Amino acid sequence: MKTVDHKCPNCNANLKYNPKNKNWICEYCGGKFTLSDLKENEKNFKETSLEKSKEIKEETQNEMDEYYCEDCGAKIIADKNTAATFCVYCKNTAILKSRLTDKFSPSKIIPFTKTKEDAIEAFKQVGKHKFLMPKEFTDPKNIQELTGIYIPFWLYSCKMNGHVDGKATIVTTWSDYNYIYTKTDTYKVARSGDYSYKNIPVDGSVRFNDAIMNSIEPFDYSEMIDFSYSYLSGFLAEKYDVSKDEAKKITINRAYQSTIDDLVDKAHRGTFYYTTFVPDNKDYNIIEEDIQYVLLPVWMVNIKYNEKMYTFAMNGQTGKMIGDIPYSKKKAFIFWLILFTIIFIVTLIISYFI
């Protein structure tokens, strides 16, 4: 089965997307191309339609996992959720175009603005001055494994009406010379309101840790553009395996919880600041809603240490990076041994002169 990639119109070498200049470059002839250049070249390119249509049809029906690199002919193995990968032999990008068609076709994409060099520098900054960091985290081979991946996300927007009602109390306390008095006034309180939520994100891939994906947010969704396969050049990409319905349930729950929390807070404060408020009823109604499937850029690396995998991820648009670095027990032992030795020697010298 064939893969799809963008070729240089001048020399037919593979093109890679340049996040800094927002264009496509050829590392062989030095050519630079815009998205409109690539679209025009693709439009003029004549393919052997009968054979290719048959292959794409087979791929769509059977979701085969074997592909062949257009450049070196090597076999590429990809699971059913991979939309763009690399050939392990020639390192060229293989865009599995039919994996992102029909219902799996994203509507929008945020292209990478941070380069691999930016990601490497950010990773180095995470471990800066952490001298107990294991050597695996400073190994150049591991650092170079930082990979740019387009992660599938669902973005949910809606307008929602919420309502809460319940019992509120105001407790007043005073005293005289003999007694302490307490008065409790009880009120029936209700609050309603209209709320608007835009682009609530849900990670569309089960293989990526939701906590990590949530931690590198937010993305600037105003920079989303119409999806084009061209932006996948030089990067990995996934297609979603969290369904639209699953994502919708998650995002509606988030919107509902935010709405109710705000209404409860307003009910608690009320005209007076109530001492307590206990809601009896909570309800909501969705007025209008929209959900779209998009690809968002993430730089990521996994480093194994003591049989545990540590993941570092950087927002490919904003540069926000997260990740935990363990400490090396060996380095810690050596550090404390050296410190103890220094203290011991200093103590001996001081005692000698006393």
Half-sphere exposure of 152 (CA within 13 A, CB side): 26
The answer to whether 300 and 146 have CB atoms below 8 angstroms apart is yes
| Rounded-to-integer distance, Cα 184 and Cα 165, Å | 19
Gap between the Cα atoms of 281 and 166, Å rounded? 7
Comparing C-alpha atoms, which of 68, 287, 261, 333 is closest to residue 160? 287
Q: Is 238 exposed, middle or buried (0-12, 13-18, 19+ CB in 10 A)?
A: buried
Measured between alpha carbons, how far is 322 from 209 in angstroms, rounded to an integer?
A: 12
Please report where in the chains the tokens 């395996």 appear, as a residue: 241
The tokens describing 99, both together, are 């994996």
What per-residue confidence (pLDDT) applies to 184?
92
Tokens of 308: 């545990």
159 near 286, Cβ under 8 Å?
A: yes
SS3 category, 163: strand
Tell me the residue type at 245.
D
254 CB-near residues (< 8 Å, 6+ apart)? 200
Look at residues 310, 111, 121, 322 and name the one whose alpha carbon lies nearest to residue 219.
111
Cis before 9? omega within 30: no
pLDDT tens string for the chain (354 positions)?
Answer: 344 456 777 766 677 788 888 888 877 667 788 888 877 777 665 454 444 444 444 444 444 455 555 555 544 545 555 654 655 434 455 555 555 666 678 889 999 999 988 888 888 777 666 665 666 666 777 777 788 888 889 999 999 999 999 999 989 999 988 899 999 999 898 999 999 999 999 998 887 778 888 888 889 999 999 988 888 887 888 888 888 899 999 999 999 999 999 999 888 876 667 888 899 999 999 988 899 999 999 998 877 777 777 788 889 999 998 877 665 566 666 666 777 778 867 777 777 666
CB atoms within 10 A of CB 252: 19
Give the closest residue to 318 by CA, choosing from 304, 303, 298: 298
Contacts of 348 (CB under 8 A, 6+ apart): none
Contact call for residues 108 and 227 (beta carbons, < 8 A): yes
* CA dist., res. 167 & res. 187, Å (int): 6
Strand partners, 100: none
Q: What is the pLDDT of residue 72?
A: 52
Task: Quote the CA–CA distance of 196 and 265 in Å, as a whole number.
Answer: 18
Provide the pLDDT for residue 32: 84
Question: What is the pTM for the complete model shown?
Answer: 0.68
Which CB contacts under 8 angstroms, 24+ apart, belong to 74-80? 76/3
Are 321 and 216 a contacting pair, CB within 8 Å? yes
What is the per-residue pLDDT for 44? 66
Assess contact for 146 and 117: CB atoms under 8 A.
no
> What is the CA angle 208-211-213, rounded to 5?
55
